[in-house]
Amino acid sequence: MKLSEIRDIAASQKGRLEGTDIGLEREALAGLPDIETHALIVSGVRRCGKSTLLHQFTRRLDRPFFYLNFDDLRLSPFSVVDYALVDTIIEEVAPRVLFFDEIQSAPDWELYIRQKLDERYQVLITGSNSSLLSRELGTKLTGRHISKELFPFSYGEFLAFKGLTRGLGSLESYLDSGGFPEYLKTGNLEIVSQLQSDILYRDIAVRYGIRDASSLIRLYSFLVSNAAHLVSPSKLVQVAGVKSPSTVLEYFSRFETSYLLQLVPRFDWSVKAQSLSPKKLYVSDSAFIRSGSVSFSPDRGALLENFVFCEARRRTTDIFYFSDGTRECDFVVNPHGGSPVCVQVCMALNTENEGREIEGLEAALAFFGISSGYIITADSVDTILRNGRTIRLLPAHSFDFSQFKTGSFTCAN
């Protein structure tokens, strides 16, 4: 590439960034460290607000910065030798903060970032592929990076963005719309549909050389239509139209690393037993379910359970479901932290599901030897004392999910 080309691209990109509304201050902003010895890396699904978050961070730093977004068609010819041209522009601008967007699209980016750290620049990075980022971070930037994940708006952020208060009505609205900022601004569901297509085709099919993109799409559509359900690769071969479960597993991996979906394992002290058991499937945002599902009316109970998973996932990765073969508990959070929390989720507890929900929760409580658990519902508050254990029914809209990480629950104000 030419020096003038990269200079013009960088200038136009930064102009757009600084001309964009800085938006709602994200909850994750408070946890970003002002550090120069390590690269600060924010990863997450596309369009969840990573660039905006780091823009908010640069405003807080109040220091001049250089900005370059590698997810730009004009930079498609960019090669390793062009980093020397980037260095020239950086020297011209003379910032001490470097902000690189969608870094996984750049060749040998990890070597360049290490070089800039050695030159004592403060480096900020975003990326949309956890696999590409983790592989390079683990080999070339070991001990030189701090990684943070960002997700679409949480329920609390949604309330602040929309000017709403906690309650069943706003919860229902959030379950329908999800938390992608751009979609919430416009209400145009095509934005979410196009986002999914871009990720499936550009970030997965093209990047990994998947020739049969139709099978990838079929499997994805089936999975988002079955959020909060158990899935098994061997049973999805025919659904995807592929030859073997290994191909389904490959697709699963690509969906997860692109932050589209996540599979939650059954809890077992044996890692091998965990890997062999069916997984529970959750989607990174309910807007994906609404726009990508083949169902015209998504299961409200599944949407609520998916919501609880997303709120838990913002705070920890130590999440499992429990099953003893006949009884099941939806979530066991932080079982390796010494204070596991057992949670069932249902829209409402009634005569049809009461036995199943309580017995599944009791089985998990007995397994972990703890005396209390929770049933999260849409709008119920109650307490059940049974067999020496306490079960609290709490509404999802007033639940303080920040307590997930500590292993205890309270209701939000």
Burial tier of 344 (Cβ tally within 10 Å: 0-12, 13-18, 19+):
buried
Ranges under pLDDT 50 in the chain: 407-410, 413
pLDDT at site 389: 96
Strands (E), 142-278: 145-149, 230-231, 261-264
The pLDDT value given to residue 118: 95
Count CA atoms within 13 Å of residue 392 on its CB side.
14
- Is residue 181 helix, strand or coil? helix
pLDDT at 413: 46
pLDDT of residue 323: 97
Given CATH 1.10.10, say whether it is the number of domain 155-298.
Answer: yes
Predicted pLDDT at 296: 58
Across-strand partners of 393? Answer: 375, 382
Task: Give the model's pLDDT for residue 129.
Answer: 86
In this structure, are residues 70 and 103 in contact, taking their beta carbons and an 8 Å threshold? Answer: yes
> Are the C-beta atoms of 172 and 164 separated by less than 8 Å?
no
Kindly report the number of other CB atoms within 10 A of residue 243's CB atom.
11
* CATH homologous superfamily of 3-149: P-loop containing nucleotide triphosphate hydrolases (3.40.50.300)
Among 182, 209, 214, 176, smallest CA distance to 195 is for 182
- Which sequence spans correspond to the domains of the chain? 3-149, 155-298, 319-406
**pLDDT on residue 66:** 98
- Cβ–Cβ < 8 Å for 137, 127: no
User: What is d(CA 384, CA 12) in angstroms, rounded to the nearest whole number?
Assistant: 60
Q: What is the pLDDT of residues 298-339, one digit of tens each?
A: 789 999 999 999 999 999 999 999 999 999 999 999 998 778
Residue 246 CB partners (closer than 8 Å, separation 6+): 233
**Sequence-separated (6 or more) residues with CB below 8 Å from residue 273:** 266
Q: What separation, in Å, do the N-terminal and C-terminal C-alpha atoms of the chain show?
A: 55
Tokens of 125: 């990075």
Q: What is the C-alpha separation between 309 and 279, in angstroms, rounded?
A: 14
Q: What is the pLDDT of residue 292?
A: 85
Rounded to whole angstroms, the Cα distance separating 324 from 342 reads: 14
pLDDT at 355: 96
Element (H, E) at 329: strand 328-333
pLDDT digits over 336-360, tens only?
A: 877 899 999 999 999 999 999 999 9
Query: Is the pTM above the cut of 0.95?
Result: no
Residue of 308, 292, 282 whose CA lies nearest to 230: 282
Query: Would you say 55 and 22 are in contact if contact means Cβ atoms under 8 Å apart?
Result: yes
Query: How confident is the model at residue 407, as a pLDDT?
Result: 46
Order across the sheet with 389-395: list the strands: 319-323, 328-333, 341-345, 372-377, 389-395, 382-386
Q: What is the pLDDT of residue 412?
A: 54
The three-state secondary structure class of 120 is: coil
